[in-house]
Amino acid sequence: MRRIGIFGGTFDPIHIGHLRSALELRQALDLDEVRFLPARLPPNRERPQVESAMRAEMVSRAIAGMDGFMLDCRELERPGPSYMVDTLADLQRELPRERLVLLLGTDAFLGLPDWHDWERLFTYAHIAVAHRPGWSLAYESSLACLFADRVVGNLRDFARTRAGEVVFVEVTQLEISATTVRELATAGADIHFLVPEVVREFIEETGCYRRD
């Protein structure tokens, strides 16, 4: 049974923090594929600065040639807020034989109880949380009890069941945010080495983050 990692985000723009984390999660969880799903309208935050097609194009360029990395534009094609639970339901209908693993950074995981219909996510997918060395769910007392019954430490157990379990994976921390990249690009500052070179060139050529 194939395992598909689902990496959602605003990707405004995609940066090397996203990419390195996706790669390490793919290796640690033995995922056959990682799908990058840019959100059209992220529900719990401000609207993206750059339009959907451009954000998707940057993802496409960033992952080109990376074995097992794929762009999935279904959230961009769906009207209304981009609820992950709808995305996973749709994916499960389309891929009934695959195992879906929702990939989250710690910041996204900590906000999970605010997501639309979040408990239903576990009907469709496992969740893998990429965290910094030394971080533990035990430090987050309000979340620890919500997830305690779902956490598995052993990646083999995680693979046996269809959905509903949570696993924590230690990954290299690259403290980069898209917010910082946008601010630098808007100010005309140098964004070399924060994003893949093809993304930096796209941002420069289109001027998409420049202040008009």
Q: By CB under 6 A, is residue 174 in contact with ligand ATP?
A: yes
Q: Are 199 and 58 in contact (CB under 8 A)?
A: yes
Q: Are 98 and 2 in contact (CB under 8 A)?
A: yes
Q: By CB under 6 A, is residue 179 in contact with ligand ATP?
A: yes
CA dist., res. 102 & res. 202, Å (int): 28
> Residue 172 or 206: which CB sits closer to ligand ATP?
172
Helix (H) or strand (E) holding 170: strand 166-170
Q: By CB under 6 A, is residue 58 in contact with ligand ATP?
A: no
Binders of ligand ATP: how many residues, by CB under 6 A? 17
Please count the CA atoms within 13 angstroms of the CA of 105 that sit on its side-chain side. Answer: 17
Give the full edge-to-edge strand order of the sheet including 69-71: 69-71, 33-38, 3-9, 99-105, 126-131, 166-170
Q: Are 151 and 166 in contact (CB under 8 A)?
A: yes
For residue 127, the one-letter residue type is I
> Residue 17 or 165: which CB sits closer to ligand ATP?
17
- As measured in angstroms, the least distance from the Cβ of 117 to ligand ATP is 18
* Binding-residue pattern over the window 117 to 146 for ligand ATP, x denoting contact by CB under 6 A: -------------x----------------
Q: Which stretch binds ligand ATP (CB under 6 A): 77-85, 131-139, 172-180, 191-199?
A: 172-180
Q: By CB under 6 A, is residue 105 in contact with ligand ATP?
A: yes
* Contact with ligand ATP (CB under 6 A) among 54, 88, 108, 121: 108
Q: Which stretch binds ligand ATP (CB under 6 A): 12-20, 24-32, 117-125, 192-200?
A: 12-20
